[in-house]
Structure 1
Amino acid sequence: MPHVPASTALQRFRVIDLTQVRAGPTACRQLADWGADVIQVQMPEHMRGDDTLGGQDGSDYQYTHRNKRSITLNLKEAEGIRVLKRLIATADVVVENFRPDVKYRLGIDYDSLAKDNPGLVYASISGFGQTGPYAARPGFDQIAQGMGGLMSVTGMPGDGPMRVGIPIADLCAGIFAAQGILVALLEREQSGKGQWLHTSLLEAMVYMMDFQTSRWLIDGEIPQQAGNFHPTSIPTGVYKARDGYMNIAVFGSKIWERFCHILGAPEWIEDPRYHDKAARSVNRDSLNAEINRRLAEQDCSHWIERLNEGGVACGLINDMRDVFKEPQVQHLDMVKTVVSNRLGEQRLVGQPVQLARTPSDIVRAAPRRGEHTEEVLGELGITSAQVADMKSAGVF
């Protein structure tokens, strides 16, 4: 079937997805979920490398590639490149995450394509950037987590570096690339011109270090691991009640006073060890021990109710099963249902931003490799006979 937009917001845009693995596909998923016609271009089945997320029937692949169409093209053949360029001539956006030199060798770099499509927005995602001493290095999420500083502040003090439990460098690079694409499309409305934009896993990771970067760049302080406790706001972290663990975040003097009263320890307010932020920082270990001792008298549910009534932020620490039992998660309607012709009904998490007039949805399950090749080629005016000849010649 032709393009079925998941939203009316971006339905006028066509995006050519030349990416593999996660960062690039994430960028394209963001656009597809808001209605763009994302056409995923993959190598033919017999030529493919390990470019899928757990196999095409796996949950990871299904989540990442929903709302897209898929074609196959052999980009090692001149005819495959010619068909790709013909497709790109109809597009608004190209997203690629080849090694920086590959696009030039194939003749599908921005400057080459913009000659025929001056309004083209061309997005490149790499491990370390398009130029510089590390540009040719292979990039991988955990490498960026380490080099960007995240692993140095994650984990328990003294236990050595710790990775985050999601591919955060990949995901952030993809989301930042999608944001950059939208900015370029908005600018194009004024100038009429496209442009090349690029980001990398390393840039995304350094940017996501946020206040930790300013602690070094402005204050000259090298952030250290703080485990489950906030490095500068005390008390904020993981605490143990009678039946399990919970998060508590106490920000500001007024909230601190309320917290002390709720825990039945008003004396902490005037205690010189705890009476201000600086003192609580110095004496964080003794304060945390005192808090845990008080919390151990009741279950998490008791404290969560009392603390929320008092305006003190807190919450359970859920596994994935419990996340989707949360009444608020259910109320937010984050889980969408889509039917795959091959795999049946699927439940997937939708976009975390709600637009009242042009909402996002999941209307198409992840495609099989090349599922829409003949359909898309037909949209380019290529006849059935020509398609048959191309297939025989190994073009797709």
Structure 2
Amino acid sequence: MPQPLSGVRVVDLTRILSGPFCTALLGDMGADVIKIEPPSEGDPVRSAGAGRDGMSWYFAAFNRNKRSVALDLRSEVGRETLAGLLAKADVLVENFRPGVLDAMGFGAARLEAINPRLITASINGYGSSGPYVARPAFDFVIQAMSGFMSTNGTADGEPLRSGPPITDLVAGLYCAFGIVNALHARNSTGRGQRVEAAMMDGIISLFAYLASDHLVTGSVPARAGNHHPITAPYGLFTTADGELAVAPSTEAILRRFLRTLDLEAVLSDPRFASNALRMRHHRDLDALINARMSSEPRQIWLERLNAAGVPCGFVQDIGEALSDPQVLHREMVLDVEHPGHGTVRMLGFPVKLSETPCRIRHPAPDHGAHTGEVLAEWRSDK
């Protein structure tokens, strides 16, 4: 079955997370991703996290739909082999610190000479220009530097990072998006171009109303915990047997929420007559809501509120979420057979295409498993 990126050749020099996530997305869409790894140890994630039968499931999830080539890029032979692969490639993806690719002998001018149609994509911490260009970067540091961490946590608590390494993942996602756009542009121009996705840029782009309000007023958003910074009531509410997340984000939904609780009359209270007033007095309103909701179990409220069109749900841990019937129905957990390593469970495809869907064409490769195969193909293409 053809896929959107069938026939696109990607040379993947990335490692750890942000870059492998980007190239896994391209591979899921049909690209032929050639993962270049050092001959000795390979990608460090091969030995990271939990696994079975000699396979890291972390590595397996982020390196599916790729072929592995062991290549020593410190040697002249290795670099010349890479140059030959790039001459026949559509995309090069790397997540070195800025300047490393140039130091390897693959600066912009040489890449242009090797293949003017090549799209060169870079993922880095702060970008390839600016005062922080030489700084090393890591997800935790970028979460702190970007302001993202300052928005997470309770008002009287310390700033908190997100659980997943979100700045890595966002940068990888944006890079894949940029590559697809560059491939489309090449159809018109006939030429490649440079794509760059910085972790700092990516996470800042997600600030939404937090950034808008600051740019309008100059005020810095305070940490609000599970309360919403610009809407009340909103958050976790206490039922007879646990908490329920409720998001009545508009006036209409708010009225349905309070009507279901037999509390709609509280809107006549001067403290709660507008959203601005409810924000100021949200603790008082939350206390009324909690007193009412604590009289019934959360399943009852879940059914009533969903029936009324009020967004709500349980706080599930990862195990509960990955066994949730909706998640399983959407095939967001996959069982992938890895020859020699048994069945590996991993996350599925978040984008569903009706005619050219994502699919697993082959599992994550053993280190260097496709070196001979890929180099034979390259020689036959000469």
Task: Name the TM-score class by shorter chain.
Answer: over 0.9
The superposition leaves residues 295-352 of structure 1 with CA deviations (integer Å, 9 ceiling, x where unpaired) of: 1111111001100111111011111221133222222122222110121112222221
Aligned to 1:19: 14
Determine the structure 2 residue equivalent to 1:358.
356
CA deviations 1:177-196 (Å, max 9, x no partner) are 00000110010001111001
On the 8 A contact 1:71/1:370 being kept in 2, the answer is yes
Aligned to 1:41: 36
- Change over 3 Å in CA distance of 1:266–1:212 after alignment to 2: closer
Alignment check: 8 A CA contact 2:258 2:264 kept = yes
Residue of structure 2 equivalent to 1:75: 73
Q: Distance in 2 between matches of 1:284 and 1:67?
A: 49
Q: Distance in 1 between matches of 2:112 and 2:313?
A: 51
Q: How does 1:2-151 map to 2 (within 5 A)?
A: 8-45=3-40, 50=44, 52=46, 54=48, 57-151=55-149
CA contact (8 A) 1:241 1:300 kept: yes
Between the aligned partners of 2:22 and 2:131, the Cα distance in structure 1 is: 26
Report the Cα distance in structure 1 between the residues aligned to 2:97 and 2:257, rounded to whole angstroms: 53
Q: 1:112-135: CA deviations, max 9, x gaps?
A: 112121111100111111122211
CA contact (8 A) 2:155 2:223 kept: yes
8 Å CA contact retained: 1:20, 1:52 = no
Following superposition of structure 1 onto structure 2, how do residues 1-396 of structure 1 map, counting pairs within 5 Å? 8-45=3-40, 50=44, 52=46, 54=48, 57-381=55-379
1:368 Cα deviation (Å)? 1.3
- Identify unmatched segments of 5+ residues in structure 1: 384-396
Distance of 1:75 and 1:325 partners within structure 2: 43
What secondary structure, in the 3-state scheme, does the structure 1 residue paired with 2:272 have?
A: coil
State whether residues 121 and 185 of structure 1, in contact with CA within 8 Å, keep that contact through their aligned partners in structure 2: yes
Cα distance change on mapping 1:53 and 1:148 into 2, 3 Å: farther
Query: What SS class does the counterpart of residue 94 from structure 1 fall into?
Result: strand
Alpha carbons of structure 1 residues 20 and 344: separation in structure 2 relative to 1, 3 Å:
same
- Aligned alpha-carbon RMSD (Å): 1.7
Q: Give the counterpart letter for 2:271 in structure 1.
A: R
- Which 5+ residue runs of structure 2 have no aligned equivalent? none
Superposed structure 1 runs of 4+ greater than 6 Å apart: none
The Cα of 1:210 is off from its aligned counterpart by 2.2
* Corresponding residue SS for 2:270: coil
Distance 1:109 1:209 in 2: 34
The CA distance in 2 between the partners of 1:77 and 1:325, in whole Å, is 48
Instruction: Please tell me whether the aligned partners of residues 266 and 272 of structure 2 are also in contact (alpha carbons under 8 angstroms).
Output: yes
Counterpart amino acid of 1:128?
Answer: Y
Q: Quick one: structure 1 residues 60 and 49, their matched pair in 2 at CA, closer, same or farther if it must change by over 3 Å?
A: closer
Maintained 8 Å contact 1:124/1:197: yes
- Name the CA distance, whole Å, in 2 between partners of 1:68 and 1:50: 16
How far apart, CA to CA, are the structure 1 residues paired with 2:380 and 2:132?
42
Quick check: 2:90–2:117 contact (8 Å CA) kept in 1? yes
* 1:316 aligned partner, one-letter code: F
CA–CA distance in 2 between the matches of 1:49 and 1:314? 41
Residue identity in the other structure for 2:193: Q
Q: Distance in 1 between matches of 2:44 and 2:20?
A: 14
Supply the distance in 2 between the matched residues of 1:104 and 1:268 (Cα, whole angstroms): 65
Identity of aligned residues (%): 38
Q: Secondary structure at the match of 1:380?
A: helix
CA contact (8 A) 1:350 1:362 kept: no
* CA contact 1:247–1:314 (8 Å) conserved in 2: yes
CA contact (8 A) 1:336 1:349 kept: yes
Question: What SS does structure 1 have at the residue aligned with 2:366?
Answer: coil
Moved more, 331-340 or 73-82: 331-340
Q: C-alpha deviations, 1:251-306, integer Å up to 9, x for none?
A: 22222211111112122121111122111111011111221111111111100110
Q: How many residues align?
A: 377
Judge conservation of contact 1:61–1:366 (CA < 8 Å) in 2.
yes
Instruction: Give the Cα–Cα distance (whole angstroms) in 2 for the partners of residues 132 and 344 of structure 1.
Output: 47
TM (norm. structure 1) is 0.92
- After TM superposition, give the deviation of residue 382 of structure 1 in Å: 7.3
| Residue 156 of structure 1, CA deviation | 0.9
SS at match of 1:19: coil
CA contact 2:45–2:58 (8 Å) conserved in 1: no
Paired amino acid for 1:267: A
1:53 Cα deviation (Å)?
Answer: 6.3
8 Å CA contact retained: 2:15, 2:44: no
Distance in 1, matches of 2:261 and 2:109, equals 64
The whole-number CA distance in structure 1 between the counterparts of 2:230 and 2:120 is 40
Deviation, 1:110, is 3.1
- Counterpart code for 1:110: A
Partner AA of 2:363 in structure 1: A
